[in-house]
Amino acid sequence: MDLSDIRREYTRGGLRRNDLPDEPLPLFEKWLQQAIDAKITDPTAMTVATVDESGQPFQRIVLLKHFDRDGFIFYTNLGSRKALHLSHNAKISLHFPWHAIERQVHITGEVEKLSSLEVMKYFTSRPKESQIAAWASKQSNRISARQALEGKYLELKQKFSQGEVPVPTFWGGYRVKVNSIEFWQGGENRLHDRFIYSHDSSNWNIDRLAP
């Protein structure tokens, strides 16, 4: 299948150095809110890239659940493939593909595990069905058929029909400590605007990158 003729022009606007705050977080928050306001499907969805012990990269879509000056937070099964990768290599990459508004954000950093208190606080805020699903799924493990997964879910739904669902010991979360954040804004004639914030020991440095 030849896809070489599939293209479009990017015409929604540019990004200039004068538009940039001294730190990246205010701009990320502004862009995320604009993605939400534009009613982009799953605006908090991000591609999470990790690397296994052989150097093979893997990617998957995960939902961002919180961000602040301390980092970007997501949750997962601690036995999942991504978690196993991160236990050997804490380096990670996040990517927000807001194509509908001709923007992308790319983040690099390293992860640290969230505390039990942080995990419990978020887990107990989830719908009960999602809590039960976390118990039912041994994420990334091979299963014989979907019916096995559904059967386990129904079994646990009955088990936890009364009272609260406890936090699984194998479920947790990560905070991504940011090393760099790149903002990409589509431009006409493929002259896109790219700015990268890189963090040193005390400051954010800002550079324009060629498209």
Same domain, 46 and 23: yes
Q: Which residues of the chain have pLDDT under 50?
A: none
What length does the chain have? Answer: 211
Quick one: pLDDT at residue 73?
98
Helix (H) or strand (E) holding 62: strand 57-63
Q: What would the pLDDT profile of 163-181 be if each residue is shown by its tens digit?
A: 899 999 999 999 999 999 9
Say whether 103 counts as a known binding-site residue.
no
Q: Are 111 and 135 in a shared domain?
A: no
pTM: 0.92
Q: Is the Cβ–Cβ distance between 178 and 71 less than 8 Å?
A: yes
Phi, psi torsion values for 24, nearest 5 degrees: -80, -25
Tell whether 80 is covered by a domain: yes
Is 69 a catalytic site residue?
no
Alpha helices in 89-185 (DSSP H): 116-123, 128-136, 146-159
Same-domain status, 110 and 51:
yes
User: Tell me, what's the pLDDT at 171?
Assistant: 95
Q: State residue 136's pLDDT score.
A: 87
Same domain for 136 and 49? no
Alpha-carbon span 194 to 211, nearest angstrom: 6
Nearest to 113 by CA among 44, 45, 46, 176: 176
pLDDT (0 to 100) of residue 126:
95
Residues 77 and 138 in one domain: no
135 is in an annotated binding site: no
Q: Out of 16, 17, 190, 208, which one is annotated catalytic?
A: 190
59 annotated binding-site participant? no
Q: Answer whether residue 118 is part of any domain.
A: yes
Question: How many folded domains does the chain comprise?
Answer: 2
Q: What is the pLDDT of residue 26?
A: 97
SS3 205: strand
Residue 136 domain boundaries: 127-166
**3-state class (DSSP) for residue 58:** strand
The answer to whether the annotation marks 175 as part of a ligand binding site is no
Phi-psi region of 149 (alpha: psi -120 to 50; beta: other; left: phi over 0): alpha
Query: Is residue 176 part of an annotated ligand binding site?
Result: no
Residues 70 and 82 in one domain: yes
Whether residue 151 is found in the same domain as residue 105: no
Was 7 annotated as part of a binding site?
Answer: yes
The overall average pLDDT reported for the chain is 93
